[in-house]
Structure 1
Amino acid sequence: MNRSTRRRMLAGTAATALLATSLGVAVSGAATAAPGGAALRTCKISTLPYPADTYRAEAYAVDPTGRYVAGTALRVGEIDNQYLLLFWDGQQVTEVEVPSMAEPVGINADGVVIGNGWAPGVGTGQPWIYRDGKLEQLPVLPSTGIFVTDINDAGDIVGYGSDIVPGEFVGLRWPAARPGTVEVLKAPANAQPMGITPNGTIVGHAGPFGDWTGWVRRPNGRIEALGVPGGGSTTVSAAAGRWAVGLVWLGGPSATKVRWDLRNGSYITLDQEMPSLTDVNAKGVVVGGDRVGRGSTSRVLPGGGDGVNIGGRSISDNGTVVGWRNADRATPVRWTGC
């Protein structure tokens, strides 16, 4: 994937978020019926508190315990829009003004948040970290853009940069043991790390655009393939505990959604009704779009309906899901007991 492709993907994400704008009232309620007539356990939806004068607000990431949440909001001004980062500790929310659009991508059990933004006046990707009430830029290498993708509870961060090696992506790691440093990760050529587990196992995909291969890097540095026998292009989107999830092209009209067991590389096919795969927790429960998946089955999250769209982005180990709900405006929501 080249730099312009990455920008188009980010622009598409931003456009989707901006379309889901304005704020609605708080909602609450249990799921009614799920496919097959089974209720979605006790999964309930509620709206997270957010600044009343913002035009839209959304939640992007939840930590493994379900306590900490990170998201964004937009305050519309007469001349310029004001972008905000939102950080929740339970029901308490903190807002931090940022000069341009920024997006959280991960948060650990200590409440440390990482995310991506843009370098002022340059337009290249610049990752950041929020900890102890302070927002700081992460160190970078000379490139046309640096992006972070995940953080584990130890504080190790992974991501990738473009054109550190001309024409390629390079996997990167910000080691917690050496604060203020970034290092090139030993990984396949053209690698994009997408997840890091508590023990330091890293997963991702590599290769030219449209012809990716999945890989896993063990804590001892050993690299192994992550795919499906006979499968084609493979992308990996998230990892937690012993699990990773992603897409494998098997020759059909669309990619097949799979979950791998990182202990031995075995896999299962997930419910193809799931619109996407955005996160997985340490129990192997998957979230994407308006669904939560367990094994080969999935259930619709409550809170949607005619003219009301919902989307889950991140799931904790206790089943807390965070994302957005859009009736006439986008609001940050949390599902519990899922």
Structure 2
Amino acid sequence: MTELDDEDARYLRARLGAVAVPAGRLSADGLLALGRRTGRRRRTAATTAGALLPVAAIVLVTGGFLPWDGNAGPGPAGTSTASPATPSPATPTSAPVTADCTLERLPMPSGAKTGSVLAGSPNGRHLVGSYNPPEAANLPAWWVDGRLQEIPVEADAIARDVNDSGMVVGDGSGPDGKSAPWAYLDGKLIWLPIPPGFTDGSVNAVNARGDVVGTLGGDPDRAVVWRDITTSPRADLLSASKDRTHADGISDSGVVVGGLSDRNLPYRWDADGRGAPLPLPDGVDLGSVRGVRGNWAYGTAAKSNGVPALGSGPPMPVLWDLEKGTATIVGDAMSMPGAGNARGQLVLQPRDDDGVLLRDPDGTLRKLPGEEGWRYGARALDDSGTRIGGGGGARPVRWICRE
């Protein structure tokens, strides 16, 4: 058994819920019972942060792909094939070294059963996520310099992201009981508007300006940017033909990354709303973006073998250089990226390993310390590469590192 945070568990359930199942595989009813539709993969439907799933499940989550034929898949790890003429991040040539980091457990309220870190601010001061009190499935968690702060959300809710100014964004049960997005700044909770024609909404990220991205539930689901949060909040829809879309990250320059839900393809929108697919490395035809910081986006890619949403190739960690328009495989199969920063660093969760790796732009790998017997994951990385947030043993943790 291994620990997996609730956001990833929801993503797995949502991916499974969207699959069109070929004959001879699991029944559609059985898959649908596990989750929701792909485009609404980050709702507050999950009940427990730090849920336990089999070790094999961790490879299904971040990229959203199901089990594969072990003989299929892309080329060697570290190969960049999107643009051969463009230099790509280096590939590690040696085993990971031990990172000079200190592991700290983050505080939780009295009585909380489990907790997790889901994101952090670029300056590393803020970490957000959720914890599980006895009276609710989830409540939002917010740590400032390691100290727990209160967010006055009374219903089931989760904090998804935070910026350097301390604006926390999340979603949960709104006043009408449906999934609703919110922002919290300067002691004020703001419910974000749901436009006519949509039933509910979820959020995934916030940038330095306070622009918030997420997904609106409707027919079809649509990626959205909420702007002017503190004055007159409005929802600007992002289009991509008739596809169901979702937005997963937004840079400080206003570039939004997300995906086409039905086709499992990574996508980006410029600050003016113009959209285009993100490139994929050769040998893969499915992709999923987790987030963006500066000119770097990160996620996974896999080979579908012609069956959408049913991956036959192992999901591979991918780093997109948005300025150069390249996509680079930056690790071994099933090394899941948890977070990235503006320097192009990543935190990776390797297969068959209880630890977390910090990957530098030159390909150097450093293993973060952990307590024996616990499996760790990281979901927050500051722009200095010295402050990292995550979880282990169903407990929220942070690492303080030296460069």
Would you call these one fold, judging by a TM-score over 0.5? yes
**Partner Cα distance (1:140, 1:212) in 2:** 25
- Aligned pair in 2 of structure 1 residues 315, 217: CA closer, same or farther (>3 Å)? same
Partner of 2:50: helix, strand, or coil? helix
Shift of residue 36, structure 1, vs aligned partner: 4.5
**Partner Cα distance (2:103, 2:208) in 1:** 26
- Decide whether the 8 Å contact of 2:249 with 2:292 is kept in 1: yes
Question: Does 1:317 find its partner at 2:391?
Answer: no
Shift of residue 274, structure 1, vs aligned partner: 5.6
Unpaired stretches in structure 1, ≥5 consecutive residues:
21-34
- Aligned pair in 2 of structure 1 residues 175, 324: CA closer, same or farther (>3 Å)? same
Once structures 1 and 2 are overlaid, which stretch shifts more, 47-56 or 288-297? 288-297
**Partner Cα distance (1:331, 1:207) in 2:** 31
Partner of residue 297 from structure 2, selected from 238, 244, 247? 244
**Partner Cα distance (2:155, 2:348) in 1:** 27
> Aligned residue for 1:224?
276
Unpaired stretches in structure 2, ≥5 consecutive residues:
1-14, 19-34, 54-92, 306-311, 350-355
**Partner Cα distance (1:213, 1:130) in 2:** 32
**Partner Cα distance (1:190, 1:246) in 2:** 19
Structure with more relative contact order (C-alpha pairs < 8 Å, separation 6 or more): 2
Deviation track 1:179-202 (CA, whole Å, cap 9, x = no partner) reads: 321121244532211111111111
The code of the aligned residue for 1:94 comes to: Q
Shift of residue 311, structure 1, vs aligned partner: 1.5
> Aligned residue for 1:4?
36
In the alignment of these two chains, the number of paired residues is: 312
**Partner Cα distance (2:401, 2:43) in 1:** 31
1:133-148 alignment runs, 5 A limit: 133-142=187-196, 143-148=198-203
- Decide whether the 8 Å contact of 1:271 with 1:297 is kept in 2: no
Shift of residue 286, structure 1, vs aligned partner: 1.4
Shift of residue 139, structure 1, vs aligned partner: 1.4
Compare the two structures and name the one with the higher strand fraction: 1
- Decide whether the 8 Å contact of 1:271 with 1:298 is kept in 2: no
- Aligned pair in 2 of structure 1 residues 155, 75: CA closer, same or farther (>3 Å)? same
Shift of residue 134, structure 1, vs aligned partner: 2.5
Question: Does 1:281 find its partner at 2:332?
Answer: no
TM-score, normalized by length of structure 1?
A: 0.81
The code of the aligned residue for 2:130 comes to: T
1:33-52 alignment runs, 5 A limit: 36=94, 38-52=96-110
Identity of aligned residues (%): 26
- Aligned pair in 2 of structure 1 residues 12, 158: CA closer, same or farther (>3 Å)? closer
The code of the aligned residue for 1:239 comes to: V
Deviation track 1:113-154 (CA, whole Å, cap 9, x = no partner) reads: 1112123564x3211111112233211124233111111001
**Partner Cα distance (2:138, 2:269) in 1:** 36
Deviation track 1:5-31 (CA, whole Å, cap 9, x = no partner) reads: 3578757854462449xxxxxxxxxxx
> Aligned residue for 2:50?
17
Partner of residue 303 from structure 1, selected from 370, 374, 379? 370
- Aligned pair in 2 of structure 1 residues 274, 135: CA closer, same or farther (>3 Å)? farther
Question: Does 1:156 find its partner at 2:211?
Answer: yes
Partner of residue 212 from structure 1, selected from 249, 256, 264? 264
- Aligned pair in 2 of structure 1 residues 263, 228: CA closer, same or farther (>3 Å)? same
> Aligned residue for 2:120?
62
Question: Does 1:73 find its partner at 2:137?
Answer: no
- Aligned pair in 2 of structure 1 residues 72, 213: CA closer, same or farther (>3 Å)? closer
> Aligned residue for 2:3?
none
- Decide whether the 8 Å contact of 2:316 with 2:331 is kept in 1: no
Shift of residue 213, structure 1, vs aligned partner: 2.1
The code of the aligned residue for 2:183 comes to: I
Partner of 1:277: helix, strand, or coil? strand
Shift of residue 108, structure 1, vs aligned partner: 0.5
**Partner Cα distance (2:204, 2:341) in 1:** 15
Partner of residue 102 from structure 1, selected from 150, 157, 164? 157
Shift of residue 96, structure 1, vs aligned partner: 3.4
- Decide whether the 8 Å contact of 1:304 with 1:310 is kept in 2: no
Partner of 2:108: helix, strand, or coil? coil
TM-score, normalized by length of structure 2?
A: 0.69
- Aligned pair in 2 of structure 1 residues 221, 145: CA closer, same or farther (>3 Å)? closer
- Aligned pair in 2 of structure 1 residues 273, 225: CA closer, same or farther (>3 Å)? closer
Question: Does 1:332 find its partner at 2:396?
Answer: yes
RMSD (Å) for aligned C-alpha atoms = 2.9
